[in-house]
Structures are given as structure tokens and as C-alpha cells.
Amino acid sequence: MQKRILTIQDYSVLGRCSLTVALPIISSLQIECVGLPTAVLSNHTAFPTFSFVDLTDHMLESVDKWDGYNNNFDMIYTGYLAKGQVDIVLSIIKKLKRENTIIFIDPAFGESGKLYKGFDKEHVDDMKRLVEVSDYLLPNLTEACYLTDTFYQPEDHELAYSVVDKLLALGAKNVVLTGVKRENNVGCLLVNKKNQYYYGTNDLKKKFHGTGDVFSSALAGSILSTDDITKAIKVAHEFTSLAMQKTIEDNVDGILYGPEFEKAIPFLVDQFK
Ligand code: PXL
């Protein structure tokens, strides 16, 4: 049977991120992607200004309208949430989670040691409650430090391991820490109670906004496409890296507009043929 993901995140019209990357990436893997918007923005918040329509009241109302219809999902994948939406997301999870539904959480609230515009400690504390129910948690080092009340220091090898342990203790079943550097490589570190796995490739030394969402969406789709989690991680990483390489080759503004992931979709599709 065709797999289905419910993803809960914003729709930022300009600037590739959130639903605008999750829908095409997941669909390209022949998985149905049901996108529940948390807010509609003119563009993501790294632009100097943006308009924001909050859809908090619409979220649970939409899900309740699906009673009696197909509301069975193999995965619930959450990304950028507006302030105050965690309780609603927890209610949605409680309502829709079946025995095999994977709960996949990208905290999506900060990077480079800082919170994104509009977020505060209260939002971080709310997000900790999503950590507790996560089967997969995908923080970058900034988010991992905020979630564990740890002082952020970039590129600290020991810190990466200690925050991951704290996140497992908070209840996450698998932590995939992104943006982990090792020598000339950058990649991600998967840790669960039994295993550790690192996969990285040559650091391209560029930061394109929305790259984290490209990786998360590719990993969400890959996890449902193979039983081999190390393969899923490798594919999601290589897809993201290829999208960045295409953006660099084309010499376009990926910093605001995001990586040209569309050009890497044929690669992604090939991996699960
Ligand atoms: O990529 C994360 C993200 C998603 N959605 C919105 C954002 C950001 C990061 O700034 O502003 C609206």
C-alpha cells in the first residue's frame, strides 16, 4: 500500500523551506504527503520583513474534519511551528497516532547559536514536550543545546555527544544531530540506545537557508522507503549536498532562496528504484 506522511509546518511562499520543500521531495519518493499548514508567510523570517497569517485555530479543526475519512498515516513529521502550537500538535499526534506511526520531529527554531525571529525560551520549553514523544528527533547543534539547557559552542565534538545523550534521556528514541563537523567533513550523527552512526562529506562551507528542511524532508521520505536507517541517512545527506552543489554551480542566491533541491530530485528517485 502507498505510504502516507502528515507533515505539519508553515507555508512560506517565497524562499524554499518548510512545506514548499517537504511536499515535492516526499512526493518524488511516491509517498503521499498531506501538508497541514501552521501559518502562511509571504517569505521565511530570514528576509528583513515578512507577513504572517497564523493558522493555529485551523489546525485541529482541519484534523477533526477528517473523522470518518482516511486519516491513517505512516509518519507524522513536524517542522517549523508558530509559538503556542505545540499543545495542538500533541493533540493531533494523540488523535492520529496508530501502532506503527513514526513521530518525526524537526524542532526548527534556531541555528548558529540563536533562535529564529519571534521565538523565546517558552517556545523551546514547549518543544521539549515534542522531544518526549519523538521516534526521530532532528536538531542542529543550536537546537540541541537549547533543548538541553546546554551552553552552545560551535564545532565542539564532545558537546555533540553529550547533548545527544541528554536528548535520549528526555525521551527521543533516535537523535539525528545535523551539521556535525569532523575534519574536513560535515554531516550528521545518528544515535539511539544501541547504535551510533556518522555520515558526512566534504564541507561545502556555504549556508543556504532552508537546507535543514531539505534534509529533514528527504530523510522522512527515505525512512519510509527502506528498512536500513544508515542508507536513509546517507541518501538524505547526499541529496542535500547535491542540491547545495547545484546552487553553487549556478551561482545564484541560495542564502535567501534556499538550495536548488529540484535539480537533485532525479538522484533521490534513483536511490530507491
Ligand atoms: O527553515 C526553517 C524555517 C521554516 N519556516 C520559517 C522560517 C524558517 C527559518 O527561519 O522562518 C517561516
User: Is pLDDT at 169 greater than 90 in this prediction?
Assistant: yes
pLDDT of res. 156: 82
Q: To test the ligand 1 pocket, which listed residue (10, 50, 214, 257) has its Cβ within 8 A of the most ligand atoms?
A: 10
In whole angstroms, how far apart are CA 39 and each of 10, 107, 141, 262? 5, 16, 25, 24
The dihedrals phi and psi of 87, each to the nearest 5 degrees, come to: -60, -40
Q: Using an 8 Å Cβ cutoff, are 73 and 5 in contact?
A: yes
Going by alpha carbons, the residue nearest to atom 1 of ligand 1 is 210
% of residues, the chain, pLDDT over 90: 98
Contact 210 CB / ligand 1 (< 6 Å): yes
pLDDT of res. 10: 98
62 CA from centroid of ligand 1 (Å): 23
Q: To test the ligand 1 pocket, which listed residue (53, 116, 127) has its Cβ within 8 A of the most ligand atoms?
A: 116
Going by alpha carbons, the residue nearest to atom 6 of ligand 1 is 44
At which residue does the C-alpha cell 501552521 appear? 38
Span 203-260, pLDDT tens digits = 999 999 999 999 999 999 999 999 999 999 999 999 999 999 999 999 999 999 999 9
DSSP 8-state code for residue 16: S
Contact 45 CB / ligand 1 (< 6 Å): yes
CA atoms within 13 A on the CB side of 203: 13
Contact 21 CB / ligand 1 (< 6 Å): no
Calpha distance 268→250 (Å, rounded): 20
Three-state secondary structure call for residue 114: strand
pLDDT of res. 113: 96
**Rounded mean pLDDT of the chain?**
97
Contact 142 CB / ligand 1 (< 6 Å): no
Span 155-167, pLDDT tens digits = 788 899 999 999 9
Calpha distance 64→227 (Å, rounded): 32
Contact 46 CB / ligand 1 (< 6 Å): yes
The confidence band for 49, taking pLDDT boundaries of 50, 70 and 90, is very high
pLDDT of res. 103: 99
Calpha distance 130→93 (Å, rounded): 10
pLDDT of res. 133: 98
175 CA from centroid of ligand 1 (Å): 21
Q: Which of 146, 156, 147 is nearest to 179 (CA)?
A: 156
pTM of the model: 0.98
Calpha distance 59→65 (Å, rounded): 10
Contact 216 CB / ligand 1 (< 6 Å): no
170 CA from centroid of ligand 1 (Å): 25
Instruction: State mean pLDDT over 15-36.
Output: 98
Contact 82 CB / ligand 1 (< 6 Å): no
Burial 222-236 (b: 16+ CB within 10 A, else e): bbbbeeebebbbbbb
Atom in ligand 1 nearest the alpha carbon of residue 79: 4
Span 253-263, pLDDT tens digits = 999 999 999 99
User: Is pLDDT at 106 greater than 90 in this prediction?
Assistant: yes
Choice between 154 and 79, residue whose per-residue pLDDT is larger: 79
pLDDT of res. 155: 79
Instruction: State mean pLDDT over 134-155.
Output: 96
Span 115-141, pLDDT tens digits = 999 999 999 999 999 999 999 999 999
Contact 116 CB / ligand 1 (< 6 Å): yes
CA 24 vs. chain centroid, Å, equals 14
pLDDT of res. 7: 99
Contact 12 CB / ligand 1 (< 6 Å): yes
